[in-house]
């Protein structure tokens, strides 16, 4: 049996939704810091999704000490053309100031309010994903999912997914990302595409 197949793989997140999605894509168990009582809350100071993904992977690797386990990390966000690419790398912190956190629903309503009646509603989710073995040995992939922002709060739809999914419409499905099944979403999503590239790399190098 290959070494990689027997290794414990860590995912540098405390987001259980992301863990569930990526486990389904990779078809293997992942370990996240919170499940092992590891305090993990790195400051995402990168200017790009790739920089933040690598930053998170390296931080968790450091916390794991001498363990040889590989670490997967991702950074993703929503880039809206009508908002000049925002919220972008600040998607998780959009609208927050003074330490006040917003719920996903509040962020979605704020984004729709800021976009207003703009006719430019094209947008994309971007996901950069890193598979880190050590400081100087890693594999990086970045993928996108193209779509558009719904026109008003009355068109916010769906209970699946998380984050900005309910306001992100997929024209070919005529549904929001939050209305798709887990299988449908994983087949087309930015994280799904990136995860499959990671899975292929693990398979080919295992």
Q: 75 catalytic, yes or no? A: yes
Q: At what angle do helices 16-26 and 190-204 cross, to 10 degrees?
A: 50
**119 within 8 A of 75, measured Cβ to Cβ:** no
The residue among 81, 178, 68, 96 whose CA lies nearest residue 126 is 81
The active-site residue out of 41, 75, 84, 117 is 75
The residue among 16, 47, 28 whose CA lies nearest residue 131 is 28
Q: Please state whether the peptide bond connecting residue 87 to the residue before it is cis, i.e. omega within 30 degrees of 0.
A: yes
Tell me the Cα Rg of the chain. 17
Q: Which residues are known to be catalytic?
A: 75
């Amino acid at each position: 049996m290959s070494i990689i197949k027997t290794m414990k793989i860590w995912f540098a997140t405390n987001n259980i939704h992301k863990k569930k999605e990526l486990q389904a894509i990779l078809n293997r168990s992942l370990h996240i810091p919170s499940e092992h009582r590891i305090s993990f809350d790195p400051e995402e100071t990168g200017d790009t999704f790739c920089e933040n993904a690598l930053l998170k992977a390296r931080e968790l690797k450091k916390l794991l000490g001498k363990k040889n386990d590989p670490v997967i990390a991702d950074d993703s966000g929503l880039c809206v053309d009508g908002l000049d690419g925002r919220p972008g790398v600040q998607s998780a912190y959009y609208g927050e100031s003074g330490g006040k956190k917003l719920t996903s629903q509040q962020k979605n309503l704020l984004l729709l309010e800021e976009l207003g009646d703009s006719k430019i509603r094209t947008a994309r989710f971007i996901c950069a994903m890193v598979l880190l073995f050590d400081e100087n040995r890693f594999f990086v992939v970045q993928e996108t999912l193209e779509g558009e922002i719904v026109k008003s709060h009355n068109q916010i739809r769906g209970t699946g997914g998380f984050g900005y999914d309910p306001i992100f419409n997929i024209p070919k499905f005529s549904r929001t990302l939050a209305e798709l099944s887990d299988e449908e979403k994983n087949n087309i999503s930015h994280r799904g595409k990136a995860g499959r590239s990671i899975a292929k790399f693990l398979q080919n190098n295992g």
